[in-house]
Chain A
Amino acid sequence: MKTKQFGRRELLRAAGATLAVPFFLKQAFAGAAPRPPNLVLLMQTNGTNQKNYWPADGSFDSPILHELLSDPVLASKTTLLKNINFDSTGTPTGNGHDWGFHGLYSGFAAINNGPDQFGGGISLDHVVAQTVKLGRPIDKLHCGVHAVDYKIINAGRASFSALGAHQQVPCELDLYALYTKVFGSPTVDTPEARAAAALRIVQKKSVLDAVAGDLQALQGRLGPTERNKVDIHLTAVRDFENRLSATIPAPIGACAEVKPSRPGVPTEGQGNEANAEPLLRLFMEFIANAVACDMVGCLSFQFGRGGDHFHYRWLDIPGMPEDAHDLVAHLDDGNNPDIARINTAIKVWYTMLVTDLARRLDAFPQADGATALDNSLVVWGNEIATGTHAMEKMPLALLGKAGGRLKKTGWIVDAGAQPHHRLGATVLNIMGNPVAGFGNLPNCGMLKGLELNL
């Protein structure tokens, strides 16, 4: 990987005045570059404006992606995946929001109807965590921001992360708790503190052993269906126990000092539209910190609930309706300039968030001279393709170079129409799991046209 030196001025320019990378963080990246790459899965909702998303022929810029692609460094590390169509094999239930929200990163069809509708299979984040030796203190995290979608009919859209059919995993919303989880509380590194930490581990392991013992006893009394529930529970206990042992004796150095740049933003799950804007910004910062500090192997994030109903009041877009969902996710067929303008303005804002994340990652030099962005694979997806619930030409982009496993970046991959399952298969191969397919298309192969170095 080519060495890239960052001067202070360049760092500040990249990160923005308020995004300056703390010196101690840079110090933290003196170790070996992470392998396999850090994986970040981003799920945006409500589609995009197709015309303003895709660069025109011969260009690598567009109105919606301009913030990202106008930066030559970031553009050179971005890959747009064109002509990926959502494949509804398995006949998903619900509408496009459910199909894409549950299916884009799982390859399985949404199941059931009404309040019981959920994803139909294990999602990519869990497949990666279960099949790839990620070697980070925390294998995976799923987090996000919810907003004002308060009706119960969409309970399944609260999280796209699933351990299996109808086995939704909660979307963690508390940004500050996530910082504590990932970076721990500040500690004083003294012999006494280390001894106390070691004793704590012994005690907590004894507690978790008792819990595991109870779970094993329960397992033996169950039939196969119910046993699966307890298996998941037991795995969670064992994973947590391993993490407890792995992280506490080995101080995580300067990264332990990472903290959110703004405290006190309420993170409650429902009706927090007023806090959505600062929370989303803070989450970009968190993802960058977690990935750059090499603390989380696979981090999945949702910008909202499936088919979210953000109002985007902070954008103050002229003509914006109170609930943007119906306008941008239902009506933008590309023919109404007013609707396209509003939809584009919203999507530009999301690009700014993702660009912020990319800039932060690219501002962190790592041991091999590459940046955290170079050593990461950020998948930026969307549950639907356009504002008419269409599912063709899903807006998809890869950011970063996946530790060199993405051989060519800075271009548009367009090898004709391809099923979205190939995205999952490709990500798994990049991460080191040589699968032939993904979800309910076990032999779909990888994305064609992409140049990989596996």
Chain B
Amino acid sequence: MIGSVRAFASATAALFALSCSALVDENSSGASGTAGGGSTAGAGGTVPEQPVTCLHALTRRVRRLSAREYLNVLTDLLGESAATAARALLPFEPRLAGFDNQDGGLLVSAAYQEALFNIAEKVAGAADPATLAPCAAGADAAGCLSAFAQSFARRAYGRAPTADESMRLLAAGATGPDYATSVRLVIEAVLQSPNTVYATELGPVDSGKAGAEVTLAPHEIATQLSLVLTAARPDEALLAAVDAGQLGTPDELRAQLTRLLATPRAREQLRHFIDGWLDIGPVADAPKDATTFPEYTPALAAAMQQELDQFIDAKVAGGSGTLLSLLTDPSTNVPPALAPIYGASLTESGLDPARRKGILALPGLLAYHSADQHSGPIERGLFVKRQLFCQVLPPPPASVIDRLARMPLDTHDKARTTRQKYEMHVNEQFCAGCHDQFDGIGFGLEEMDALGRYRTTENGLPVDSSGSLAGTDVDGTFNGVVQLTEKLAQSEQIKTCFTQHFFRFAASRPPTADEQCVLDSWAKTFSAGGTHIEDLLLSWLTDPRFVVRKEDR
């Protein structure tokens, strides 16, 4: 799973040092400006030689778990059926910047609290106290209930409940007329408790003076580790380790990292990261005009989704995979339903690498990033610039509306290709000022239609897939998705941008302006090591921001 044991040892040693000594010193402000600490090159698992400490830590916070994280906790506590019942009761919340865990978008509003109440009541009602909290006939029921509350809350909170918290749980349970009802009431209280609903990043209870830097409590560190790797609370093995004080040495932490990255949850979590990087939601959500694309059925969308998910899982490979393999690897497991989409590109030995390679050539991604009636060169160009290069492109100016009103685009026009319809952007100086930045990318993908099918003609006219990149570190011309992919693979900006997405995913917040130095350092390590995703994980886990916060009281 992990390529370099040495690298892990270095990384975890750094984490150990951070969590135990230097950064709890309130006098070590961390503002020394040592951005871009050196790195040790190596194939996978390359780590910084020392943590980047170019700014203060951010303030302590509580972050509400995302719906996905909460449902994972529920699954661990009461099984998949409980999570299934709960899923439908949670209000819809949009992802921010592609990720569902962003602190800025997570709040317990009245609607959310009501959902938590309803979920708790429903799943507790369906729970079997005899299985969850067995209590032999004649045994001390109060003792049984107390033991159950303790163990159930421990899994939900990621730590043992305090004495006060236990008392509150038992007080809730005490209103039950019988043991089974009491167990259910305890379950309800635990599932709605802020100790379940939030991940705290506060440090020890009496952590220090205002402005001081504090290190998170050991159980908070374990929860942070578990959330970023598995989108769930620590499992029993991690809990047992931290309870026993066995998360402090590099070897102990390495063992947990390696173990968690091998879990199905970690695979899903890393896929969530890649989906966010690529701005992909469910493929089936991408609207397609039924008249133009009658073959775009739910079954076809599901096949596209399946291929996309499997491709990501295979290339990410539990963290040991690379960004470059995501971008350039031609091997993919094609579901039978996609054979008509691939057509001649699909041979007995796989896909023709001269025509398709990498994730940008997958039908699922091409279909998602296109328009509902056509290939959407503008959408695709914007996608590449915004998501892969992290470039901020302004919305169209107000005056563009007048021009559009005078020159409406007829998407039903069958006398021209899609490219020809949009080439007015290039030919009109007013439009070209902005569209030159991204239209050329989309034009270069015109060989792939809105369902990701290779084509040489459109409306009976030859398709022109000559494209260009501008405003990047790999500017120049290309023709088709394969050549675009090869150019992107040479770009350092792509790697830096990928790092920015990862920071947001891992930290559950956008980077501040002051944190550019951190991103630069991570990107340098990431690129030098061959773009192994595990390097980014290690950058995060060894960064002071992972375990250090500033006292805000």
Contact = CB atoms under 8 A, between A and B. Distances in A.
Do chains A and B stick together as partners? yes
Interface in B163-188: 164-165, 168-169, 171-172, 174-177, 181, 185, 188
- Interface size for chain A: under 10, 10 to 19, 20 to 34, or 35 or more residues? 35 or more
**Which has the most chain B C-beta neighbours within 10 Å: A163, A168, A225?**
A168
A181 B107 CA distance: 20
A270 B281 contact: yes
B492 interface: no
A214 B108 contact: no
A367 interface: no
Contacts of B121: 204
Interface string B84-124: 00001101111111100000110111111110010011000
A222 B48 CA distance: 33
A277 interface: no
Interface stretch (A84-92, A147-155, A254-262): A147-155
A333 B92 contact: no
A94 interface: yes
A95 B200 CA distance: 36
A170 B91 contact: yes
B104 A116 contact: yes
Among B117, B197, B398, the one with the most A-chain Cβ atoms within 10 Å of its Cβ is: B117
A360 B392 CA distance: 48
A206 B60 CA distance: 30
A315 to B, nearest CB: 16
Interface in B534-553: 551-553
A152 B94 contact: yes
Given A155-B96, A226-B60, A322 B175 contact: no
Interface in A105-151: 113-116, 118, 140, 142, 146, 148, 150-151
Q: Of A158, A163, A170, A204, which is in contact with the most chain B CB atoms at under 10 Å from its CB?
A: A170
Nearest to A177: B89
How large, as a class, is the contact surface on chain B? 35 or more
A151 B279 CA distance: 8
B336 interface: no
Interface string B360-391: 00000000000011000000000000000000
A116 B510 contact: yes
A217 B169 CA distance: 14
Interface in A194-221: 199, 202-204, 206-211, 213-215, 217-218, 221
Interface string A218-251: 1001111110011011011101100000000000
B401 A389 contact: yes
B287 A206 contact: no
A281 interface: no
Given A210-B189, A222-B62, A172 B392 contact: no
Contacts, number: 203
Contacts of B198: 218
Contact of A389 (B109, B117, B164, B398): B398
A210 B168 contact: yes
Given A115-B98, A222-B60, A171 B92 contact: yes
A321 interface: yes
B104 to A, nearest CB: 6
B107 A226 contact: no
A206 B164 contact: no
A169 interface: yes
Interface in B192-246: 192-195, 197-198, 200, 202, 205
- Most chain B CB atoms below 10 A, which of A153, A163, A211: A211
A49 B401 CA distance: 15
A269 interface: yes
B405 A236 contact: no
Contacts of B284: 271
Nearest to B190: A210
Contacts of B345: none
B309 to A, nearest CB: 18
Interface in B57-74: 59-62, 64
A167 interface: yes
Given A116-B510, A210-B193, A152 B205 contact: no
A69 B200 CA distance: 55
Nearest to B193: A214
Q: Which 7 A-B pairs have the closest CB atoms?
A: A223-B552, A155-B94, A269-B92, A236-B113, A170-B91, A233-B108, A115-B97
Given A151-B279, A170-B92, A271-B284, 19 more contacts: A116-B97, A150-B285, A152-B94, A152-B96, A152-B98, A199-B177, A206-B172, A206-B175, A211-B192, A215-B194, A222-B552, A225-B552, A226-B59, A232-B108, A237-B113, A271-B287, A322-B373, A331-B404, A333-B401
9 contacts: A148-B285, A167-B107, A170-B111, A206-B174, A207-B192, A217-B164, A221-B553, A236-B113, A271-B282
